[in-house]
Amino acid sequence: MAKTTDDASYVEKKDGLKTLSGTNENPGYFEHRGNRKNLLKLINFILLAAGSLLILSPLWWMISTSLKTMAEVMSFPPTFFPESWNWANYIRTWEAAPFTRYTINTLTITTLVVIGNVISNSFIAYGFAKIPFRGKNILFAIVLATMMIPGFVTLIPQYVLFAKLNWVNTYFPLVVPAFFGSAFNIFLLRQFYMTIPNELIEAAKMEGANHFYIWWKIGLPLTKPAIATVAIFSFNGAWNDFLGPLLYLNDENLYTLQIGLQVFKGQMNTQWNYLMAGSLLVLLPVILLFFFFQKYFIQGINLQSGGK
């Protein structure tokens, strides 16, 4: 409680799961019933352990297949562990298609989308959370309602719009909308802003600060954890985006990793070792991001469920 200005303390006041590693405070009812409860716990543990093998096996299979020779991939029955570990498959995969170019393109788009999403959504959410104005509730209801519109309903007319603007075969259709906010992120950040005491804003106003200044100097720093969440979600979304690039990019030089991988799939036919190596390389940044920034993934979920 003492460190109320600390970034994280605002979230931690909320109920529910803090991080994946947060300890479970709930079932204190285990201690009483002795043996039966312990048996249940044991069964629970065994189920989870068996299930985790099941959950992990596809990922292991991807690694294993990516290291096999084509002869071994085709052998029957398939093997769980590669006979020889052909790391060279990765080099061959990378050289078989312009993956370096795809990576640079993807990073360009992803960076711009993350910047756009962070700035615009933080700005907009501040307005919805901290400034009273007429029609705010109606506008916010519309924000939420847009989440219900199936993407394809707007996708086709948007394509018409961007085609008329001559934006096909550019990154504009993929990047520009990110600078105008998106419902889910506005909602997420607004939830977070709500936990910042209004007195803080009032006090800053007393000292003559205007809202731009308050947003920049108080809002942004205090919502850092939520912004990290938005940044990571946007990174993930842009990195994995398939539909947008598929629709708007026809020039091979502009292809992203997702489209590149789809093209690679067509070239490689059933050369599963190379296909799995390619898939793993494309998934790797997301996996790493997950292990380093778990906390922020979880936080996004918490903010979501806190707003029921």
Site residues for other proteins, 245-274, by CB under 8 A, read: 246-247, 258, 261-262, 265, 270, 272
Residue number with CB closer to other proteins (150 or 207): 150
The label of the residue with tokens 């979600």 reads 233
- What is the C-alpha to C-alpha distance for residues 255 and 238, in angstroms, rounded to an integer? 13
At 99, the amino acid letter reads: F
Q: Residue 91 CB, nearest distance to other proteins (Å)?
A: 18
Looking only at residues 125 through 184 of this chain, which bind other proteins when binding is defined by CB under 8 A? 126-128, 131-134, 136, 139, 142-143, 146, 148-161, 163, 177, 179-181
Please give the Cα distance from 64 to 242 (Å, whole number). Answer: 26
Q: Does 197 bind other proteins (CB under 8 A)?
A: no
Size of the site for other proteins (CB under 8 A): 108
Residue (27 or 166) nearer to other proteins, CB: 27
Q: Pick the binder of other proteins from 6, 8, 144, 290 (CB under 8 A).
A: 290
Half-sphere exposure of 88 (CA within 13 A, CB side): 4
**CB of 299 vs other proteins, minimal distance in Å:** 10
By CB under 8 A, tell whether 243 contacts other proteins: yes
Q: Which two tokens stand for residue 112?
A: 């711009």
Of 120, 191, 195, 223, the residue at the interface with other proteins (CB under 8 A) is: 120
Rounded CA gap, 214 and 231, in Å? 21
Looking at residues 68 to 107 of the shown chain, list those that interact with other proteins (rule: CB under 8 A).
Answer: 73-74, 76-78
Two structure tokens written together for 175: 């990047």
At 233, the amino acid letter reads F
Which lies closer to other proteins via its Cβ, residue 5 or residue 217? 217
8 binds other proteins per the rule CB under 8 A: no
Determine which residue in the list 211, 213, 216, 220 makes contact with other proteins, applying CB under 8 A: 211
Neighbours of 70 (CB within 10 A): 14
Q: Which is nearer to other proteins, 1 or 29 (CB)?
A: 29
Please state the closest distance from residue 217 (CB atom) to other proteins, in A.
15
**Closer CB to other proteins, 2 or 153, in the complex:** 153
By CB under 8 A, which span of 1-9, 89-97, 222-230, 243-251 interacts with other proteins? 243-251
Regarding 292 and contact with other proteins (CB under 8 A), the answer is no
From the CB of 70, what's the least distance to other proteins, in Å? 10
Q: Between 234 and 258, whose beta carbon lies closer to other proteins?
A: 258
Alpha helices (H) along the chain: 9-12, 34-67, 70-74, 88-96, 99-130, 136-146, 151-164, 172-175, 183-194, 198-206, 211-214, 220-222, 224-240, 243-248, 257-268, 272-306
**Could you give the CA distance from residue 28 to residue 34 in angstroms, rounded to a whole number?**
12
CA 246 to chain centre: 20
> Measured from the CB atom, is 150 or 199 closer to other proteins?
150
Smallest separation (angstroms) from other proteins to the CB of 96:
14
Q: Is 181 left (phi over 0), alpha (psi -120 to 50) or beta?
A: left
For residues 57 and 80, the answer to whether their CB atoms sit within 8 Å is: no
Which span (1-9, 51-59, 83-91, 93-101) binds other proteins, by CB under 8 A? 51-59
Cα 109 to Cα 95, 105, 152, 226, 255: the distances in Å are: 23, 6, 22, 22, 11
